[in-house]
Amino acid sequence: ENPQLKIIEQYTELYERTASMFHYFLLETPQGKSALEYITSRGISLETIKKFKLGFAPIDRKWLKNFLLKKNFSNEFLLNSGLFSKKYSDVAFFSNRLMFPIFDRRGQCVAFGGRILHPKGDEDRKYLNSRELPHYSKKDILYAFNFAKDSIRLLKSAIICEGYMDCIAYHQCGIKNAVATCGTALTENHLKVLKNFADTILLSFDSDGAGQ
C-alpha cells in the first residue's frame, strides 16, 4: 500500500473529525453563540450552515489537543497536522474563530479557513488559513468545488469569488456554479481544474487592492 496515500487518508480523517467538532460547537454550545449570531446576521440560513458544515473554534487553545489524543491520534502525528502552533505544540492554531471547512472534490474536509469575530487590533488577521499539507495544496483546491462541479459542468461556466462568505451567499441564492480561492491568488492550476468543465469563467472579486 502507498504510504503517502495512507498518510493522506489519516489527515483527512483527522480534519473530518475536527470539522464535526467545530460544527457542534457552533450549533450546540453557548460558546458558539456569538459566532452563530454573526453568521445568521449576515443572512446565512441554518440549512446553508449545515450544508457547508460551518463551525466555531473554541477560545480554549488546549482543548483540541486533549480531545484528539483521546481519539487515538498520536502526539507525533498531530505535531505535523497543521492544527497546532509550530512553536507550542499543545496550542491550537485556530481559536475563537468562525470556521470554514475546505473540502476536496469528494467533499471531505482537508483544511480550514477561520474568520475572526472581534478583532482587537491590526495584529489580528481577519482570516487565518491552513498551511500547505501533504493532502492540501492551496494552488490546486477551490473552495466549494465539491458543491459546484455538477452545476459548472451543466452551465459550462464558473464564477470565482474572492472569499468564502461571497461564495456561500451565491450558493444560498441558488447560483451553484460559484467557487472561491482559499486565501491565495488565483493560480494557473485553479484555471486548469475549471477548464475541464467550463468554457466561461467569471471573476467576482472585490474592487479593493487584493481584488484588483
- pLDDT for 142-186, tens place per residue? 999 999 999 999 999 999 998 999 999 999 999 999 999 987 788
At 189 the pLDDT is 93
Task: Decide: helix, strand or coil at residue 198.
Answer: coil
Bridge partners (DSSP) listed for residue 180 = 143, 161
Residue in the structure block whose three cell numbers are 503517502: 4
Residue 126 main-chain phi, psi, to 5 deg: -60, -45
Give the residues of the chain that fall short of pLDDT 70.
1, 121-123, 207-212
Residue 58 main-chain phi, psi, to 5 deg: -60, 160
Q: Does this model's pTM top 0.85?
A: yes
Kindly tell me the sign of the dihedral angle through the C-alpha atoms of 136, 139, 144, 146.
negative
Alpha helices (runs of H) in the chain, residue ranges in sequence order: 3-28, 33-41, 46-51, 63-70, 75-79, 145-155, 164-172, 188-195
Asked if residue 31 lies in contact with residue 56, where contact means CB atoms within 8 angstroms, the answer is yes
Whole-angstrom distance, CA of residue 11 vs CA of residue 120: 32
Give Cα 90 to chain centroid, integer Å: 22
At 93 the pLDDT is 97
Whole-angstrom distance, CA of residue 7 vs CA of residue 26: 29
